[in-house]
Every structure is written in C-alpha cells, then in structure tokens.
Amino acid sequence: MPDGPVGTASHDEFRDFVAARRPTLLRAALLLTADRTEAEDLLQAALARTYLAWDRIKDRSALDGYVRRAMVNINISWWRRRRLDEYPTDEMPDTPVADHTGRSELRDALDRLLGRLPARQRAYVELRYFDDLTEAEIAQALGVSVGTVKSTVSRAMAKLREDAEEELATLD
C-alpha cells in the first residue's frame, strides 16, 4: 500500500535522489533567486512538485531537468505574484531598505567575465563550478579525457583571474 502519492520503494528512491542532488539543485535555485532563503523555498516547492509526480517520471536520468524546470516555472509564478502585490507609495518606509547593489554589481561583473571566455572554456567552467560535476563526470559527458577537462578549466580560471584583475584595476 503506498504511503501518500508514491509507494514505499519510490519514496526511498526520492529520498536518495534529494540527498544526492540537493546541493547542486540549491545552487541552481540560488542562481535563479540570488537570495539563499528564497532559493531554499524555491527548491522545496520544486521538490514537492517532483514528489507528487514521481511515479509518472519514467526517465530517471531526466530528474534534474524536471526539478530545474519546476524551479523556473515556480520562480516565474512567484515573480508575477510579487509584481502584482507591490504598489508604489508616496511615503517612505520607517525601516531602512537593504542595499543589494553590491551583490548585483558582483553578479554583473561575474557574468561579464564569463562572457569573455571562449564558449568551450565557459561550458567547462559552468559544468565544473555551477553544476558541480567532477572532472571525470565532465570528461564522460563530453567524450574527452580527464586531462583535457583539467587543462581547459585551468586555462579558463587563469583567464578569469587575469580579466578580474584588469577589471579591478579600472575601478581604482
């Protein structure tokens, strides 16, 4: 007899999936929201949706994609809802409003620096640091050697450091 939307075996499989993939999926949620608390809420909502659809998802290799798509859809819904709930006013708030410009400037700088990388290097860096794949997993996924992955990521990180130093020098 199933306990809830999925059976016991499926429940255990879902729990194992969440335990293994949560850190990576949380990073993806952070990229969508730029706020840790919102990212955790977003991931929780997407995992709840995934849990309800667990027995209907036949291709287990597509689970990450399913959860990521759910996060994007939920985030869009939340964004639309927030947009409707915020109204301009002539009065200033009594409490100070947090200034997130430094965080967004840092994010913009990172996006610019990544955009300067050649497509191949950018892809390797994103797979390694944003998707949190190991060098062996990247090599297997792209059909290259581990040495190729290591050297490409190393060159990309060196270029990012060099470009970041140049960008910092222009700010001084």
Domain region containing 27:
8-85
- Residue 3's pLDDT is 45
pLDDT interval class at 46 (50, 70, 90):
very high
Clarify whether residues 24 and 77 are in a common domain. yes
By CB atoms closer than 10 A (0-12, 13-18, 19+), residue 60 is: exposed
User: Of 23-32, 40-49, 123-132, which has the strongest mean pLDDT?
Assistant: 40-49
- Residue 47 is predicted with a pLDDT of 96
pLDDT, one tens digit per residue, over 24-40 is 999 999 888 888 899 99
* Residue that is last in its domain, among 85, 110, 141: 85
23, 41, 22: which is closest to 33 by C-alpha? 41
CA distance 132 to 125: 10
CA gap 17, 24 in Å, rounded: 11
Which pLDDT band holds residue 144 (cuts at 50, 70, 90)? very high
Residue 92 lies in a domain: no
Distances in Å between the Cα of 19 and the Cα atoms of 16, 37, 79 are 5, 19, 28
Could you tell me the CATH number of the domain that includes residue 66? 1.10.1740.10
How far apart CA 79 and CA 60 sit, in angstroms, is: 29
Highest mean pLDDT: which range of 31-35, 57-61, 79-83, 152-156? 152-156
pTM: 0.49
Whether 81 and 16 share a structural domain: yes
| Residues 67, 13 share a domain | yes
Instruction: Give the number of other Cβ atoms within 10 Å of residue 130's Cβ.
Output: 14
Amino acid at 139: A
